[in-house]
A and B are shown apart, each in its own frame.
Chain A
Amino acid sequence: MNRRTALAVAVGTALLVLPACTATGGTSKGADAKAADDPSKVTGTITVLTQRTDLVQDGTLKKYAAEFNKTYPEVKVEFQALTNYEAEVKIRMNTENYGDVLMIPGVIKKSDYPKFFASLGTVEERGRKYRFTDFTAVDGKVYGQSPIGVMPGFVYNKRVWKEAGVTDWPTTPAEFLAGLKAIKAKTDAVPYYTNFAAGWTLTSWTFVNGSVHCDPQATTKLAEGDPWAEGADLRVGDTLLYDIVHEGLAEKDPTTSNWEASKPRLAKGEIATQWLGTWAVIQFQDAARKAGVDPDDIGFMPFPAQVDGTFCAVAGPDYNQAVNVHSRHKEAARAWIDWFTDKSGYDRDNLAISPLKDAPLPEVLKPYEDAGVKLIELDDSKGAEVKLIDTESEVGINTPDYRQNLVDLARGARKGTLDDFLADLGKKWTDTQKTVGS
C-alpha cells in the first residue's frame, strides 16, 4: 500500500507542476519586422498560414509565390491552409510555432499584439500609403496589414429585381421591404435568403454599423452608448432583418439553409437578395458561370439608408496579415506581406478594394461610383473596447447566436417581442460598459 501511495503522490505532483509549464511568456516583445533594402539578399524559408484552403488546393497561392520569387529569389514560401482557422491558430499561438506570416485571429486582444506580432512600422509612416492601419495599431505602431478591403452590402439578382419592377436602389428600409414584397408577389424567387444555418452570414449584419448614419465614429458610439437605442445603427439593421423574416419574405425553413447551394440559386434567380459583402460577388459570379447563367446578373447594392441624399458604404479590412514575433526570418516574412499587399494583384483577383490609398475602385463598384456612394472608413480606436464589452456581456455582435435568436423571434419559434429583445441586449451591453470601464 505504501508504494502505491508514494506513486500516486509522485504522479499527482508531476501533474500539478505541468500546468505551470504551459504558460510561457513572450520574451521578444516589441520586435520589428523591417523591410529589406535589397530584395536579392533576403533569404529564408517562411511558412504562411492562411484560411483560404481553396486557393492552396487549386494552386493559386503557389502561383503568387512563384511571382514573388521573381523579386525575392532567395525566399522560399510555404503555405499551410487551416480549415477552421480561428480555432486552430488560437491553439497554436500558445506555442511559438505559428508560422512566419499569419492572419491575426479575432480572439487576440489588441493590447497583446506586441507580444505575438512584429511591428510593420509606425501609424504615420504606413498611414500615408495604406488603408486600415488603424485596425491593428497599438501605441502608434502597426502590427498587421489587410491585403484586401471589403464592404458590406446586398448581393442581389438584377434580373429578378427588375422583373419585380424595382430598378432604383431602395433608399429606406421601408422601400427595401416594399421591393422584397414586390419580388414575392411578381416572381417565383425567394425575396431574401438568411443563410441561418451557416451562422456567420447573419453575423455580417453587424457591418450595418456606420452606413446608416454615414458616421466614421460609429464604433466609438458602440463603446459609449446603447447600440440598440432608438435610431441607432444596429437597431435599424436588426429591425430590418426582423421585418424581412416577420413578413415572410425570407426562405421558408431557415434552419436547414445551405450556404454553398445558395450561390447558384441566387445566380439563377431562385433567390433575390442576401446581405453579404463585396468579397462574395466573385463567388456568386463563379457560381453563375458554373450554372450556365449570366454572371452579369449579380448586382451589389448598399444598405437602404441615405444621409443628405447620398448612400454611405463602410470599407473595412479583411483578415490582417502579420509577422510572428518569434519568426527567425522576419525580413523575408515582411517582404511577403509587402509584396502581397502592393504587387500581388490579390485584391483585383477578388474584385476587392485595394489596401493602397491611391488605387482605383474595383470594377464591381462601378455602379457605386455612378450613384455617388460615399466611401467611409470607421475609426477603430475604440475597437478593442467594443470587442471586450461584446465578449464580457456575451451579447455576441460578432457571433451568430443573437441574430439566430432574432430570426427565431421573427418567425415565431421563440416567444417575445422585438422591443423587449433589443432592450434586453441593450441592457446587457450598457451594464457591461460600466464594469469593463475605460
Chain B
Amino acid sequence: MDNGQQAGNGVSKTACSVTPVPDGAVADICERFGNDKHRMLDILREVQDRFQCIAPATMDQIAEETGLTRIEVEGVASFYSFLSLQPKGRITIRLCDDIVDRYAGLEAVTAAFEDALGIKIGETSADGAVSLEYTPCIGMCDQAPAAMVNDIVLTNLTAQSAREVAEAIIAGKRPEDLVSDRFATLSPHDRAVRMVDNNIRHAGAVLLGPVPEDAGLSKAVSITSSQIISMIEESGLRGCGGAGFTTGRKWRFAAAERTERSFVICNADEGEPGTFKDRVLLTERPHLLIEGMTIAARAVGAKEGILYLRGEYVYLRELLEQVLEERRRRGLLGKAILGTKRFDFDIRIQMGAGAYICGEEGALISSCEGLPGEPKTRPPFPVNRGYLGYPTVVNNVETFCHAARILDQGAKWFHDIGTEGSHGTKLFSVCGDCLNPGIYELPYGHSVWELLEMVGGQDAAAVQVGGPSGAMIARDSFHRKLTFDDLATGGAIIVFNGQRNILEIVDYYMSFFVHESCGYCTPCRVGNVFLQKAIEKFRKGLANPEDIDYLKDLSGTIIETSRCGLGMTSPNPVLSTLANFPLVYSAMTQPSKDGIRATFDIQSAIDGARKIAKRRSYIFDRDFTQ
C-alpha cells in the first residue's frame, strides 16, 4: 500500500473494455431476481460470474431494470471484493494471503503460480483466461496455504502443486476437475470434504458428538414460544460470534415486537482471520443449524429466514441448498412445520461477495438488502427494526446449533457445562505453529496453556486469541482462561512460535483492517491507515520513543469514536502487543540523532524535487554517483 489511496479494493472510473453483457442477458438475470433492488448482490454476483466484469453499460441496464440510479448500483458493485469493474479472467485464482498462509509458504506458492501462468499477482492474462490475486483469510488456516479457484477451494498448496494447478488450468481444465474427474457424480458433501478437511480434533458433548435428528425442533413445537425463549435464557447461552450478547434476551426483544413480518438471519460470514469453526459446522451439522434457525423462528414468530453465507464459502452452497430442500420435503421447513398450525418458516441463502465487515450485524443486514455492506445506525437495533425495517434476530452459526441442542437436552444440562458466566461448550479453531491444527470443542474455562498442550503448541511464544480484533498474548499470560470474563473469543486461536516477527504480524493485521474497513466513518477509514503506516515505521527502524505514545493515542481515538465494532477493535493488534510485548517495540525505536528525527527520511522527502530539478543535495546525498 503506497499512500493509502492506490492499492486494494480498486475503484476506478476506467471503463470495462470487454464487450458488455449481451442484450437481454442483464434483463434475464434481473428478472430471475424479480427485478428486486434488494437482490442487487445476487444480480451483480451473477453478472460477474458469467461475464467476469460489471461494465458501466451493464450498471446502467441493471439500474433501469431495478429502478435504481446507476450510482447506487455502482456503490454496491465497487464495495465487494469479488465484484469487479474491470474485466477479470474466466478463471480467477485467489490466493489466501493470511499471515498463517505466509508462514506456511505462500511466497513459494505465489511464485510458482506467477511463473507457470506468466502473470504477476493482480494481473489478468492477455487472453482473458485467468486472473491471479490475493484475498484475505478464506477460513482455511488449518490447511494453509489455500486458494479459491472460482468457486473451488484448494488446500495445503505447495510450489509443486501450485505449478500443477496452473498447468492444468492453462491446458483448459475446469476448476472442478482439479478436485476430481468425477466431480459431477459426487454428492455435495463429498465434494466439500474432498476440497477441505474438517480436522475435528476433539468432539465435545454439545455440537460435534452424536446429535439426534430434530429432537430440539420436536420439543419446540410441543411448548409455547415464550417457553422456548425461557429455556434459552435459563441455559445461559451467549452469542458465539465474539460479542457474547445473551441469546435469550435477543429473542425476547424480537418476540415482543408486534409486526406483520419478522426475520431470522444466520450469520455465516465468519471472516475473522483464524476462525473456521462455522465452516466445519456448515459441513458436518447443517441440519442442526437449520433446526436452530427454525426453533428461533418459532420463538419470535418469524416466517422468513436468511442464511448469509460468506462469499468464500460458496463451495458449501450446494450442500446447504440440498439440506434446505430435503427439509422442505420432510415437512421441517415450509408451511405447517411438523404439522403444527400457523408454524410456517422458510429460508433462502444469501451469498456474500468478499467483505469482512458483513460479519457485523447491521452490515450483514445491509448486504442482505442489496446495499453496500455498511453497518446501520444504532439505535434502532435489529431486533426492533432490522432487515427491510422489520424485527430481525441475527445469530451466528454456532449459536443456532447450540440453541437446537438446548431445546433437546434442556437448559440445565447446558448451564452445567463450562463456568459461571460462560456456559456450555465452545468451538475453538486452532491454527499456526502447532502440531494438530483444527477444531476443538471444549467447555468454557480451559486455560490457553491447556489448549496449547492439547494442540501440540507448547513452544508458542505468542498466541492470538480471537483473531486480529482479539488479543495477542505472551507466555506470561498463558494461564489465562478462555471465558467471556477473561479472554473472550469468537473461537480463533492462532499460535506463533519464537521465530515469528511480532511486528510483521501486527503490520499484517493492520493492513487487513485497512482493507476491510467499510469507510463510512472517519476514525476507522483514515485512522487505521495512519496506524498501519506507523507500524511500518517501527518495522523499518525509523521510530522514535515518542512514537509509542502516538500509537496509543491514535488507537484511543479510533476506538472511542468509531461507529461500529470494526473500528472499536481494529487497534487491538497494536495495543495488545504494546502491552504484552513492550520490548519488541522499544527495541525498534531510537532517539533522534543530529537534530533530525529518525522518523524523518530526508532521502525520500527530497527525492521528488531531486528528480524534477535533476540536481542533488550536497548535504544529504551521500552517494554522489547516483
Decide whether A and B assemble into one complex: no
